Amino acid sequence: MNTPNTLKRVLMGPGPSDVDPRVLEALSRPTIGHLDPAFLDVLNEIRELLQYTFQTRNEMTFAVSGTGSAGMETCVVNLIEPGDSMLVCVNGVFGKRMADVAERCGADTSTIEIDWGKAFAPEQIADALEKKPAKVVGIVHAETSTGVCQPLEEISRIVHDNGALLLVDAVTSLGGMNVDVDGWQIDACYSGTQKCLSCPPGLAPVTFSDAALGVIENRKVKVQSWYLDVSMIRRYWSSERLYHHTAPVNMNYALLEALKLVTEEGLEQRWARHVTNHKILKAGLSAIGIEYVPEPGYELPMLNAVFIPAGADDVTVRKQLLNEFNIEIGGGLGAFKGKAWRIGLMGTASTLSNVMLFLSALEKCLTDRRVKFEQGASIAAAIEQAGVK
C-alpha cells in the first residue's frame, strides 16, 4: 500500500484541491518565531493580498488559524451575542452548519429553507425579514454540497435596507469566481485555503467591514470563544503585535505563496479559467447523459454537482476512479447522498488535462458497470467545446 509520502492523487473532489509545487516548497521553509519581525512582514503581505483577492479595503482582513469552519465560527461568534436574532438561508449542508453555529452562540436563530439545488430569490429574503427582523443575515455564496451559486448583489441591498449585517460563506468561491466584498457591501466573509486558493487546509481567510467591527467593539458581553475573539486577534495583526496565540508559521508561508500565484495570474483571468474548464466538463458530461444538480444558470464553475446516471453505483465508481486512475471526486451529502457526485475543478486542479483525464476515466468506469452511453461521446464533446473561442 502506498504511504502518504509517496502517494500522488489528482484531487478533483470538493476539497482539498491540488497544491502547486511552489506552495509546497514554501511550506517546507525553516520555521521562525511567530513574533519574529520577518514573520510579521509575512502577515502584512498576506493581509494585502487577501484584500486584493476579497476585493476589499477592510483593514480587518486576516487568516484565522484553523480551517474554513473556524472562519465560519469566527464571523458568527464575534457578531452574535446571546439573544441576537440571526436569519440563516439554508439550501444545503453548509447553510445548516451556519445555523447550528448560530444556535450554539445563543442566537435567536430563524431559517429560510428551499429545495437543495436551488438558489434564493431576493424576495424570499425580503419576506423573511419582514416577518422577523434580524441583526445578521447569513448566506452561502457557493454551496459545496449542491454546486449552487447564489447571486448576492440584490440580497445585499435588501439586507442593509432592513438594518442587518450580511455574513457570507465564500469557502468554495474565493479565488475561483467573483467575490466582491466591497462592491456587494458584505459585512463579514470567510473562506478556506484548501479550495480555489490551492493551499493545504489549515487557515481561514476572513474579512470584516467597519460596520461589523463597530458591532464587535460595542458588544455587551465577551465573545463566546477566547481563541476566535477578533477584538484580541486584531491587536496581533495590527501594528501593536500583541501576542495572542502561536500562529502556524509554515501554513502562513504557504498561504502567502498561494496568494502570490493568484495575483500573478490575475483575478479575472483566474475566474475565466474556471468557467472555461467548467464548460468543457459540462459539455462532456452532457454528451453521455449526465445532468447537473443545480437549476440551469446557477452552476458553480469550480464545483460540479451532477446526478449519478442509472446503473452506476456511487461508491463503486468513486473507488475505481481512485484505485485505477488516482482521481478523487466527492460523493453527495445530505439529501444527495448516494445520488450525486461532486467534481471539483478548483485552483491548480482546474485544467483542461484534468477534465480530459477525468472524462476518459469515467467512461471506463461506466463501461465496466454496463451503463449505456455512446462511448467516446464525452471526449468528442469536450474537444469541440475546448475549441470554442
Query: pLDDT (tens digit, 9 = 90+) per residue, 12-70?
Result: 999 999 999 999 999 999 999 988 999 999 999 999 999 999 999 999 999 999 999 99
Classify residue 1 as exposed, middle or buried by CB count within 10 Å of its CB (0-12, 13-18, 19+): exposed
Distance CA 207, CA 47 (A): 10
Write down all domains in the chain, each with its CATH number in brackets: 21-264 (3.40.640.10), 266-386 (3.90.1150.10)
Over range 194-209, report the average pLDDT.
98
First to last CA, the chain: 44
Q: Tell me, what's the pLDDT at 24?
A: 97
Q: Tell me, what's the pLDDT at 93?
A: 96
Q: Is the pLDDT of residue 117 over 90?
A: yes
- The strand pair at 188-190 and 203-208 is best described as antiparallel
Distance CA 92, CA 94 (A): 6
Distance CA 101, CA 68 (A): 13
Q: Tell me, what's the pLDDT at 239?
A: 73
At 101, give phi and psi (nearest 5°).
Answer: -60, -45
Q: Tell me, what's the pLDDT at 2?
A: 60
Radius of gyration of the chain (CA): 21
Give 298-357 pLDDT, tens digit per residue. 999 999 999 999 999 999 999 999 999 999 999 999 889 999 999 999 999 999 999 999
Contacts for 46 with CB less than 8 Å, ≥ 6 apart: 62, 63, 252, 255, 256, 259
CA 103, chain centre distance (Å)? 22
CB 278 within 8 A of CB 304: yes
**Structure pTM?**
0.96
Give 253-280 pLDDT, tens digit per residue. 999 999 999 999 999 999 999 999 999 9
Q: Is the pLDDT of residue 1 over 70?
A: no
**Residue 241 pLDDT class (50, 70, 90 cuts):** confident
Bridge partners (DSSP) listed for residue 304:
343
Classify 189 as helix, strand or coil. Answer: strand
Query: Which grid cell is 139?
Result: 448566506
Question: In the 8-state DSSP scheme, what is residue 299?
Answer: B
Distance CA 357, CA 106 (A): 48
Contacts for 107 with CB less than 8 Å, ≥ 6 apart: 76, 80, 82, 83, 84, 85, 86, 136
Q: Is the pLDDT of residue 240 over 90?
A: no
